[in-house]
């Protein structure tokens, strides 16, 4: 009589239905509430365990992501410093070159060392050097001198252009990378909410089953009480025992459910701390200010607010970050399908977690 879908439930209330009872049709599978439940179960794929697994995989993806992000920020910082230094040194070098060239063109130089008068005097030496004579440069000599002086300048120009290009490539990559941590946090919230919702749903279903069972048992008790035949006495006794057993089981299930919810909450708090340490890595704080918190996700939220664009630890190629990532999108869809598949006519209380929360987005700057 236990349908396969029952195996999805984690709670002990299942056992109640496997117990041999005087009435095999204690629970009628044709009841409308059960039909709705079966419809829900057919769609449901987000169990508490898979929610927990997904949340953990997002946390370890955030570990990889923040490590590459901190590294990328370092590269950008270094390149940016190098570029600034080159940009400052180049005009100085040009100015210096022009001074030397002007001096060379208009002035005199030493026949022995080709240095100009200004240069030699600046070094505190005698011009021209002893045994040498003053020479005026010819047009060909000026041209050769200019070429010689321009060589290091051209090298610096090339270095500056390269540094600018490298910096741009990394800045573009960094821009994509910075979109990822908030997505990771959203996806983590989605998976953690899925776990919490599944636990609450299981708990609610468990309670409902226990209530149905007790109702049936009590109606059997009433019936047995009315029965004036002597054999009804034993029947009544048996139903009373079943009633007590059912209540005890229910209490145990409730305690288990509370324990599971507390354990899930403890794990979330731990993961929040871990995520915060990841986000505090290196110089990430210079580019991104994120406060890790747990806000329950809602199926009504946009893909992006549920973390569908999180690339599971990878930094997207430039221009590719604007598409949902398949693995993340699968989690988001699973979460939505689960929440939406809850039948409207279901008598199960709606889990708190699937109600629309006021979502506070992590700030980015």
Q: Binding residues for Zn ion, per CB under 5 A?
A: 110, 112-113, 129, 132
Which residue, 29 or 112, is less far from Zn ion as judged by CB?
A: 112
Name the residue whose CB lies closest to Zn ion.
110
Q: Decide: 37 and 229 in contact? Cβ < 8 Å.
A: no
β partners of residue 109: 116, 135
Q: Which two tokens stand for residue 184?
A: 């990771």
Which residue, 130 or 230, is less far from Zn ion as judged by CB?
A: 130
- Tell me the closest approach of the beta carbon of residue 115 to Zn ion, in angstroms: 6
- Tell me the closest approach of the beta carbon of residue 282 to Zn ion, in angstroms: 54
- Tell me the closest approach of the beta carbon of residue 68 to Zn ion, in angstroms: 57
Which residue, 100 or 191, is less far from Zn ion as judged by CB?
A: 100
Q: Which two tokens stand for residue 93?
A: 């070098």
CA atoms of 146 and 19, how far apart (whole Å): 101
* Helix segments in 107-138, DSSP class H: 117-122
* Cα dist from 138 to 98, 108, 357, whole Å: 18, 11, 84
Which residue, 4 or 131, is less far from Zn ion as judged by CB?
A: 131
Which residue, 57 or 132, is less far from Zn ion as judged by CB?
A: 132
Which residue, 119 or 305, is less far from Zn ion as judged by CB?
A: 119
Question: Quick one: DSSP state of residue 110?
Answer: E
- Tell me the closest approach of the beta carbon of residue 109 to Zn ion, in angstroms: 8
- Tell me the closest approach of the beta carbon of residue 161 to Zn ion, in angstroms: 37
Pairing of strands 134-135, 109-110: antiparallel
Q: Decide: 331 and 297 in contact? Cβ < 8 Å.
A: no
- Tell me the closest approach of the beta carbon of residue 137 to Zn ion, in angstroms: 14
Neighbours of 260 (CB within 10 A): 20
DSSP string across 39-57: HHHHH----HHHHHHHHHH
């Amino acid at each position: 009589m236990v349908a396969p879908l029952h195996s999805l439930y984690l709670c002990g209330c299942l056992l109640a239905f496997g117990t041999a009872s005087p009435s095999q049709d204690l629970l009628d599978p044709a009841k409308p509430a059960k039909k709705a439940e079966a419809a829900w179960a057919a769609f449901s794929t987000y169990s508490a365990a898979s929610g927990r697994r997904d949340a953990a995989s997002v946390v370890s993806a955030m570990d990889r992501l923040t490590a590459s992000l901190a590294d990328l920020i370092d590269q950008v910082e270094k390149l940016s410093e190098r570029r600034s230094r080159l940009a400052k040194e180049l005009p100085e070098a040009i100015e210096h070159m022009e001074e030397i060239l002007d001096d060379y063109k208009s002035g005199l130089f030493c026949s022995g060392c080709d240095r100009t008068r200004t240069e030699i005097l600046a070094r505190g030496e005698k011009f021209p050097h002893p045994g040498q004579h003053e020479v005026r440069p010819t047009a060909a000599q000026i041209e050769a001198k200019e070429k010689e002086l321009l060589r290091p300048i051209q090298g610096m120009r090339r270095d500056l252009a390269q540094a600018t290009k490298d910096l741009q490539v990394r800045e573009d990559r960094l821009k994509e990378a910075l979109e990822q941590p908030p997505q990771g946090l959203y996806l983590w919230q989605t998976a953690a909410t899925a776990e919490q919702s599944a636990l609450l749903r299981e708990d609610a279903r468990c309670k409902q089953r226990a209530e149905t069972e007790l109702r049936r048992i009590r109606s059997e008790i009433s019936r047995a009480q009315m029965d004036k035949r002597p054999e009804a006495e034993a029947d009544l006794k048996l139903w009373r025992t079943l009633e007590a057993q059912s209540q005890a089981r229910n209490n145990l299930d409730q305690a288990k459910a509370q324990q599971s919810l507390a354990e899930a909450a403890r794990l979330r708090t731990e993961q929040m701390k871990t995520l915060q340490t990841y986000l505090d890595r290196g110089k990430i704080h210079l580019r991104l200010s994120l406060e890790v918190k747990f806000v329950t996700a809602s199926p009504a939220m946009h893909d992006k607010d549920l973390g569908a664009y999180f690339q599971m630890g990878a930094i997207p190629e430039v221009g590719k970050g604007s598409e949902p990532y398949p693995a993340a999108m699968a989690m988001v869809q699973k979460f939505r399908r689960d929440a939406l598949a809850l039948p409207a006519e279901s008598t199960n209380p709606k889990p708190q977690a699937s109600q629309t929360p006021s979502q506070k987005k992590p700030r980015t700057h």
